[in-house]
Amino acid sequence: MSGRIAGLGDRELVVFTFDDQEVNARQGDTIAMALWAHGQVTVRNSSSEGQPRGVLCNMGICYDCLVVVDGVTVRSCTTLVKPGMTVGRGGKS
Amino acid sequence: MTETADIVVIGGGIIGSSVVYQLAQLLDPSTRIVLCDRGPIAGATSSSCMGHLMVTPGNAQEYALTKTSVDLWRGLHEQLGGFDYNPTGALYLAESEEDIEMVPVLHQQFLDQGDQAEILDQKQLRDLEPGLAHDIPGALFYAGDGVVLPMLAAGAMLRGAQQRNPNVVVRPNCAVTGFQRDGDRIAAVVTEKSVIQTNTVVNACGVWTPGIGEMLGQPRVPIYPRAGNLAITGHHVSPIRTQLLEISYLRFAHAASDVDPTQTDRDAGGHAVNMQPQTNGGCLIGSTRQFRGMSKQVNRELLKRSLLRAHRYVPGVAQAPIIRSWVGLRPYSIDNHPLIGPWDPVPGFWIAAGHEGLGISMAPITGLLIAQQIAGITPSIDPTPYLPGRFAL
Amino acid sequence: MSGADLTQLDTVLEADVGIVGAGPGGMAAAARLAAAGVRVVVLDEGQRAGGQIYRQLPVGMHNHGVVQEPPSHDDGHNLIQSFEGHAKDGGEIELVRGATVWDAQPGRLWFEHDGVSRLLRCGHIVLAPGAYDRCIPFPGWTLPGVVTAGALQVMVRGFGVVPGKRALVVGSGPLLLPTVTSLLGAGVEVVAALEASSRMRALRAVPAVAFHAARRREAMWYMKQLWRNSVKLQWGWTVFACEGDGRVERAIIGKVDAHGRPRKGTERTIECDVVGAGFGLVPSIEVGMRLGADTHMLPVRGGHCLVVDGEQRTAVATVFAVGETCGIGGAEVASAEGELAAAAILRELRGTTVASAVVSRARAERRAADSMLGAFAPLPGLHDLARPDTIVCRCEDITRLRAQEAAAMHGDSMRAIKIGCRAGMGPCQARICGPSLQAMATGVNACAMDVPVVQVPLKPVSSETILTAPQ
C-alpha cells in the first residue's frame, strides 16, 4: 500500500490520465512517483514477453519505467507531470 | 598443440557461418570442420550491419544470386529458427516527381527477371504505411525482401551445423597467425591456440580478407572497408512495418563507386536512407557509404544526414529515442561483385568475401556455392562471375 | 529580445567550467569555483541539487524532521546551501535541471533538456556523474514492487512517497542502513533487512569506521535507529526469489555461504509488498570514457572506474573527474575530490596554489572509503541466485539460459554474450545487466576482460535532438 508521507507540505494539484484513469498528482512529481503514490506500480509491458514492469532504479538509468506521453516514449522517473497530459503504458502493446 | 581438420574456415561472420553450415549439410558427418575467429562469433561486420534480405533485379546474374539466396533464408528460418526473420517486403520510395520516374524503371527490371512488384500511388502508399509522410508521391513495393538479425542467424547456422555434424568445432577468440605450406599447397593453419593440419582453408574474413592472403605471400585481393553509419531506436516506437529504401538508394548502394577506395581522404560519402523495422518494434536507420580506412568512429554529420532523410520520409521517427549509433565496415570489392571460389595460386585455399552491403542477403548462396564446389557437386547457379581468379595476378 | 536571440541563448550555453552532476562532488567543485568568480554551468538529470545521496524534496515541500536524517546530512545541507547561494539569479553557477548529457568532447557537452537539443561550451570539464545500484538478478526481480535500494531513497527523500506497507530490504554494503531508516521514516514496516555479507566479513570494515570520526558517528546513529525500531540486520542472508500476481506479494529468503552462494534448506517465506535490493554501486563512467579518459578495473570500488592523477585530472588535460566515477567512495570522498579538482582548475585559471590540506583530505577520505568498502566487495556466488529461466536482461527479456548459450557459442566475453543473444543491447545499454553478464562470461564477478564500450548517444535521446545538435 503506497501513498504520501504526511506533514511535508502541500503543493499544487496536477491532474493527468494514465491508461484512461485520472490521477491526482502534485506539482514537482515525476510521472513514476505520482503513479506509485496513486497505487499504480505497473507502468510498462516488457518488450518481448509483455510482462508487467515498473520502477526499478528511479533515477533514469534502467529504462524499465518507460511510458508514452502524448505519443512520445519517455522515462516516467525523470519526466515531470503536467496538467492534462495523457500517459499510456510503455512497451509491448 | 597440433590437431587435424578436413577443412578450416577462417572468419566467424555470417559468411563463414553459412559456409560451415552448408559444408555440414553436404559432407559426411565424420568431416572435421574447424571455424576460427579472432573475436566473438559474428562480432565484426555481421553485428554492426543492417539485416536486409534484398533481391536486386538489375541484371540476370545478380538477380539469380540474390533471389536464390533470399529464398534460401526462408528455408533456413523454417529449419533452424532461433533468429529474427521478418519477410516485411520493401518499399522503394520516391521523394519527388523526379524520383517517381525511377519507379516504373525498377518495376520493369523485376518483370524482366520474371518476378513481380507493385507500383503504389500516394493513397495506396498511405494505406499500406500510415506513418509515411503524406506528400510522398509514390513507391514500388517488392514483397520478396525481408529483414533478419544477422548475429543471431550466424549462431543458429552454427548450432544447426553442429547438430548435423558433431565434428564441427567453433572457436571464437582464436586468431590465425600464419600458415604452413607443403610446396604450393596449404599444410596447416597456425592459430593462437593450436596448429591445425589441413589441406583446405576458406578465407571468409570480410574486410580482413586481404590480410589473411598476405600471410600466404599472396597479393592483396582488392577488398576495401566501406564505412556505414547506423542508428537504432528504442523498442516499440517504429512507425513503420515495411522495410523502406529511398529509390535513389539504388544509385549509391550496391553499385560500383567512382571514388578510389585507396584515396580515402577525398570521399565525401554517399548516403540514402534505409529503414528497417525490428521484431521488438524498434527501427534501424542507415546508411551511409564512405571510404576512410578501418576507422569505426561515427561521423556525426553523415549520421545526421541519414536521420534527416529518415525524418523526411517518416516524420514520427523524429521523436523516437535513438539508443545507439555505430559504424560498420562493409567489405567492398573493387568490381562490386563478391569473391566466391578457389584462389588458384594456392591449391586448397578458398575465398568467400567482398559482398559489400549484400553480405547478409548473399550469405546462404555463398555458403552453398563454396560447399558445392568443395564437395564436387554441380553448383546451384553458375559461379563463374564470382570466381576470385579474376583478380589473380 | 528577438526570437532568434532567444533561440541562440536557449541552445548554446557558455561557461568557464562545465560540471556534470549536482551531487556532493559536483556541488563542492562548483561552489569553490564560483567563490573565486569562475562561471560554472552544472548539468544534472534531477530537478534539484543534491544528487542521489542528498536528495531534496520538490520545491514547496520540507522535511521538518519527519524523515530522520543521519548526521552526515548536515554536511549535505551546508553544501547545498553554499551551492544554491551561488546558483541564485546573477550568481556564478547556473544549474540546468533535467539535462541528459548524450555526447561529449573536451570543451563540449551536448545535452537534451526538456526536449531541446543544447550544447554547453566550456574550458574545463568536471565529471561528477555519480553511480547507480548494482543489480543482481534473482527469480521474480522483474515484478513491479521490486526496486533498487536507491529507488526507495528517491521515493522517500526525493518525493515524500510511501513505498509500501511492508518492505523487505536486501543487498550488501553500507547503503542498506539509510534505506532502512528512510523506510522507517516513511512509516513503512521493515519486515527484514538482509545483508549478504557475513558478520565476520563485515568486521573488516570496523577499523575504517572506528578511526574515522564522521563515519563512526554515522554508524552509531544508524545502529540507534535500527535498535529503536526493533529492526535487526540479518548477516549472511539474502533474497532467493520474489513472487506475486502482477506485483510482489511475498519473498523467499535464505542464508548464503561465504561466497554468497544460496544455501539449500534455509528458505523462509515472508509477506511484503515492496522489496528494495542494493548490492552495492556501479560507477557511472560513460561520459568520461567518451571524453577520452582511461579506465581501470577496481572491484573494491565497484568495477570499471576512471583513472585520475593526484589532482583528479583524467588523461585529457581539461577534463577532471571526482567522486563515484573514479570508484565508489561515498559523499565525503566526492566532496573532497570536488574541492581538489576545483583548486587544480583555479591554479590554471587564477594562478592560485593548491593547498596541501585540500590534497591530503581527498587522499585520506579515499583511503578510508577503500578500506571500509573492501568488506563489502561484490560476492560472486550471488549470481547463482538466477535460475536458467530468470530474466537477466530486462530491456530485451533475455534469460540466463539464453545468455549462457550465447557465451558458449559466440565466445567467453560480455561482448560475445551481447552479440549472441542481444542481452545488454536495449535502452539501458547494459547498465543494469552488465555486472551479471560479466560474471557469466568468466565465472568471476566484475571481470577485467571487458572494458565497456561507449556509443553515442550516451543515453537515449530523440532523433531530433541528434539532428539539431548545435556545434
CA of B183 vs chain A CAs: smallest distance (Å): 55
List the chains bordering chain A where 3 or more Cβ pairs fall under 8 Å.
B, C
C-alpha cell at C94: 547556473
- Measure the CA angle with vertex C442, ends C436 and C443; round to 5°: 75
Same domain for C181 and C101:
no
pLDDT digits (tens, 9 = 90+) for C367-397: 999 999 888 888 999 999 999 999 999 999 9
> Does some domain include residue A59?
yes
Q: What is the mean pLDDT of residues B287-293?
A: 90
Please give, rounded to a whole number of angstroms, the shortest distance from the CA of C28 to a CA of chain A: 21
Whether residue C456 lies inside any domain: the answer is: no
> In C, which residues are within 8 Å of B233 by CB distance?
463
Contact C463 B319 (CB under 8 A): yes
Choose, out of A10, A40, A56, the residue to mutate when testing the contact with C (most C CBs < 10 Å).
A56
Which residues constitute the domain of residue C397? 380-442
CB contact under 8 A, C64 and A56: no
Domain containing residue A18: 13-85
Q: CB pairs below 8 Å between A and C: how many? A: 154
Domain shared by C172 and C241, yes or no: yes
Buried b (16+ CB within 10 A) or exposed e, C265-285: eeeeeeebbbbbbbbbbbbbb
**Residue A3 falls within a domain, yes or no?**
no
How much is the pLDDT for A93? 87
Stated pTM of the model? 0.95
Q: Which residue of B has its CA nearest to C419?
A: B151
Residue at A93 is within a domain: no
Do the beta carbons of residue C30 and residue C40 sit within 8 Å? yes
Cβ C53 vs Cβ C72: under 8 Å:
no
Is the pLDDT confidence value at C452 over 80?
Answer: no
Q: Contact B173/C419, CB-based, under 8 Å?
A: no
- The three three-digit cell numbers of residue B73, written as one number: 533464408
Among C256, C279, C302, give the residue marking a domain's end. C279
Residue in A5, A63, A72 nearest the CB of C162: A5
Q: Which residue of C has its CA nearest to A5?
A: C160
Chain A residues close to B321, C-beta within 8 Å: 73
At residue C295 the predicted structure's pLDDT band, cuts being 50, 70 and 90, is: very high
Q: Check whether B33 has a pLDDT greater than 80.
A: yes
Q: By the CB < 8 Å criterion, does A86 face chain B?
A: no
Does any domain span residue C451? Answer: no
Provide the CA C367 distance to its chain's centre, in angstroms: 19
Look up residue C158 and give its DSSP letter.
Answer: I
Q: Is B237 in Cβ contact with A92 (below 8 Å)?
A: no
Whether C228 is covered by a domain: the verdict is yes
**Residue of B236, B278, B279, B314 to mutate when probing chain A, most A C-beta within 10 A:** B236
CB distance A45 to A52 below 8 Å: yes
> Cis bond leading into C457, ω under 30°?
yes
Rounded Cα gap, residues B172 and B155, in angstroms: 12
Please count the structural domains in chain C: 3
Tell me the C-alpha distance between C179 and C276, whole Å: 8
B152 touches chain C (CB under 8 A): yes
pLDDT at C446 over 50: no
pLDDT at B96 (0 to 100): 83
> Within this chain, do residues C38 and C164 fall inside the same structural domain, yes or no?
no
CATH number at residue A63: 3.10.20.440
CATH code, domain carrying C413: 1.10.10
Taking CB atoms and an 8 Å limit, are A71 and B235 in contact across chains?
no
The verdict on B236 touching A (C-beta cutoff 8 Å) is: yes
Cell of B364: 546462404
Single out the residue in C228, C258, C279 at which a domain terminates.
C279
CA atoms within 13 A on the CB side of C213: 0
Q: Which of B235, B319, B321 sits opposite A47 (nearest CB)?
A: B235
Contact criterion met (CB below 8 Å) for B73 and B364: yes
> Measured between beta carbons, which residues in chain A are less than 8 angstroms from residue B316?
71
Query: Is the residue at A91 inside a domain?
Result: no
Contact yes or no for A90 and B319 at CB 8 A: no
Looking at the DSSP assignment, which residues form a beta bridge with residue A15?
A24
Range of lowest pLDDT (B283-297, B349-363, C134-148, C161-175): B283-297
The model's confidence at residue C3, banded by pLDDT at 50, 70 and 90, is: very low
pLDDT at C447: 45
Look at A73 and B281 and tell me if their CB atoms are within 8 Å.
no
Claim to verify: residue C101 and residue C186 sit in the same structural domain: no
Q: Tens digits of per-residue pLDDT, C22-31?
A: 999 999 999 9
Task: Indicate whether C61 and C28 sit together in one domain.
Answer: yes
Domain boundary among C357, C374, C391: C374
Would residue C460 count as lying in a domain?
no
Length of chain A: 93
Average pLDDT for B55-74: 96
Q: Say whether A73 and B321 touch across the interface (CB within 8 A).
A: yes
Convert the pLDDT of each residue in C107-155 to its tens digit: 999 999 999 999 999 999 999 999 999 999 999 999 999 999 999 999 9
- Distance separating alpha carbons of residues A86 and A19, to the nearest angstrom: 8
List chain B residues with CB under 8 Å of A90.
Answer: 236
- B203 and B351 Cβ atoms separated by less than 8 Å: yes
Task: Calculate how close chain B gets to C288, using CA atoms only, in Å.
Answer: 17
Query: Is A26 a member of any domain?
Result: yes
Q: Choose among B158, B173, B324: nearest Cβ to C409.
A: B158
β-pairing verdict for C116-127 and C319-321: parallel
- Tell me, yes or no, whether C37 and C146 share the same domain: no
Domain count of the fold of chain A: 1
C30 with C105, same domain?
yes
**For C64-98, how does the pLDDT look when each residue is reduced to its tens digit (9 = 90+)?**
888 989 999 999 999 999 999 999 988 999 999 99
Position C41 pLDDT exceeds 70: yes
Tell me what pLDDT residue B253 has: 61
Residues with Cβ within 8 Å of B389's Cβ and at least 6 positions away in sequence, in order, are B341, B342, B343, B344
> In angstroms, rounded to a whole number, what is the distance separating the alpha carbons of residues C221 and B186?
74
Closest chain A residue to C286, measured at CA: A61
Radius of gyration of chain B (CA): 21
Pick from B265-274, B308-317, C317-326: least confident: B265-274
| Domains of chain B from N-terminus onward | 2-68+150-222+335-391 (3.50.50.60), 90-143+224-333 (3.30.9.10)
Residue A92, domain member (yes or no): no
Question: A7 and chain B: CB distance < 8 Å anywhere?
Answer: no
Residue C181 and residue C314 share a domain: no
Residue of B nearest to A93 (CA): B236
Beta carbon pairs, B and C, within 8 Å: 113
pLDDT of residue A80: 97
pLDDT confidence band for B173 (50 / 70 / 90)? very high
For B365-378, what is each residue's pLDDT tens digit? 999 999 999 999 99
CB contact under 8 A, C432 and A29: no
pLDDT of residue C438: 87
Q: What is the pLDDT of residue B98?
A: 81
> What's B230-254 look like in SS3?
EEEECCCCCCCCCEEEECCHHHHCC
> For residue A63, what is the nearest residue in chain B, using CA coordinates?
B234
Would residue C463 count as lying in a domain? no
Express each pLDDT in A22-79 by its tens digit: 999 999 999 999 999 999 999 999 999 999 999 999 999 999 999 999 999 999 999 9
Minimum CA–CA partner of A53 in chain C: C144
In a 13 Å sphere around the CA of C167, the CA atoms on its Cβ side amount to 30
Please provide the average confidence, as pLDDT, over all residues in chain B. 94
For residues C387 and C337, state if they share a domain.
no
Contacts of B237 in chain C (CB under 8 A): none
Whether residue C52 sits in one domain with residue C37: yes
Residue C253 maps to a domain: yes
Q: What is the pLDDT of residue C449?
A: 53
* Cβ atoms within 10 Å, residue C423: 30
Segment A13-19 shows an average pLDDT of: 98
| Statement to judge: residues C271 and C153 lie in one domain | yes
- Compare CB distances from A72 to B235, B236, B319 and report the shortest one's residue: B319
Please state the ipTM of this predicted complex: 0.98
**Nearest CB partner across the interface for B237, out of A48, A63, A73:** A73
Q: What is the pLDDT of residue C448?
A: 45
Examine the pLDDT at C259 and tell me if it is beyond 50.
yes
Residue among B352, B360, B347, B346 at smallest CA distance from B383: B352
Cβ-defined contact of A72 to B236 (cutoff 8 Å) = no
Q: What is the average pLDDT value for chain C, to the nearest integer?
A: 94
Q: Kindly tell me if the per-residue pLDDT of C8 is higher than 60.
A: no
- The predicted pLDDT at position B251 comes to 65
Q: Which residue among A48, A72, A73 places its CB closest to the CB of B280?
A: A48
What pLDDT shows up at residue C90?
86
* B36 touches B194 (CB < 8 A): no
